[in-house]
Amino acid sequence: MRVRLDLAYDGTAFAGWAAQPGLRTVEGVLADALATVLREPVRLTVAGRTDSGVHAAAQVAHVDVSRSAWERLPGRSDRAPQAALLTRLAGVLAREAAASSGSHGLGTVPRGASDLVVAGARTAPPGFDARFSALERRYVYRIADGAGEGRAAAPRDPARRGQVLWVPDVLDVDAMAASAAPLLGEHDFLSYCKPREGATTIRTLKRLDWRRELDGPDAGLVTLTVVADAFCHSMVRSLVGAGLAVGQGRRPASWPGDLLAARSRDGAAPVAPPHGLTLEAVSYPPDAELEVQAERARVVRSLPGGDCGC
């Protein structure tokens, strides 16, 4: 059986998504928790592999489990398997967070809380693949800048210091927005990616919006919303770094486009800190199109230099 998991996490104390020996990672913690609850080893597939320190508000993963393990989840209760899985995972993850708080610098963890939450679990429709069936990923980067003439700075909420980059400068958001236009569409983003052997750096940017938020929980903050079919390693944070260089007046608005055209790692875009970045959404086609989309993506990524899936 394939089970879809919807999850969120604070990436501060995680060394990224991918499991690594001796490091606390989202994949490692979640796989161990699932194995404990299901009483069988598991292998996770994720929609977007986030870097160390990057957060997720709406990550998607899938796991294949035996039918016997799924059916025994409720035990003697009358709960549905998915409800039993969520309840038991919450307990295991809370205990893990408490046990890890000292050794991983988490500080005191509130009783019953975890920095990784599985918010949803359900049997996946036929053809669903968390990675290959995805149509696009959406990230948001949040920045609190200085106070401008006639404008108060966004309140620097200490409770959000781990999710918002603080800069002393007054950012020129109009120049940042103008600098983003040449980057939209399909391009070779070598100047904005840390390439991996055998992986292409060609991506299709569908949205790249710099703006100052006027209302809502992010009122006053400068945000970058970026949407693409997929991203390569450190690409989003490099896009942020280039935009910041423009907004702080260190580079002209034409520089990000010139950098893209250079297609070179010499003088590559600076990489912004990870903590301001959050994966906000992963979108999928209708159920009837999941398998076709997954096969299409697999073909593209099996070509020489195919997509790295980051």
Q: Which tens digits make up the pLDDT trace of 220-239?
A: 999 999 999 989 889 999 99
Place 106 in a pLDDT band, splitting at 50, 70 and 90: low
Delineate the domains of the chain, giving CATH numbers in brackets: 2-123 (3.30.70.580), 136-284 (3.30.70.660)
Per-residue model confidence as pLDDT tens digits over 84-105: 999 999 999 999 999 987 655 5
pLDDT score of 308 = 39
Q: Rounded to the nearest 10 degrees, what angle do helices 173-180 and 235-247 cross at?
A: 130
Q: Is 192 annotated as a binding residue?
A: no
* CA distances in angstroms from 174 to 149, 180, 217, 249, listed in the order given: 15, 10, 22, 12
pLDDT score of 297 = 86
pLDDT score of 309 = 37
Mean pLDDT value across residues 151-173: 87
Per-residue model confidence as pLDDT tens digits over 19-62: 999 999 999 999 999 999 999 999 999 999 999 999 999 999 99
Q: What mean pLDDT value characterizes the chain?
A: 91
pLDDT score of 100 = 86
DSSP codes of every residue in 221-288: -EEEEEEES---TTHHHHHHHHHHHHHTTSS-TTHHHHHHHH--STTPPPPPPGGGEEEEEEE---GG
pLDDT score of 303 = 46
- The catalytic residue among 10, 51, 115, 129 is 51
Show the CA angle centred on residue 193, arms to residues 228 and 198, nearest 5°.
Answer: 95
Mean pLDDT value across residues 176-194: 94
* CA distances in angstroms from 159 to 37, 55, 163, 218, listed in the order given: 32, 15, 9, 13
- Is 6 known to be catalytic? no
Is the pLDDT assigned to residue 165 strictly greater than 70?
yes
Is the pLDDT assigned to residue 153 strictly greater than 70?
no
| Residue 15 identity | A
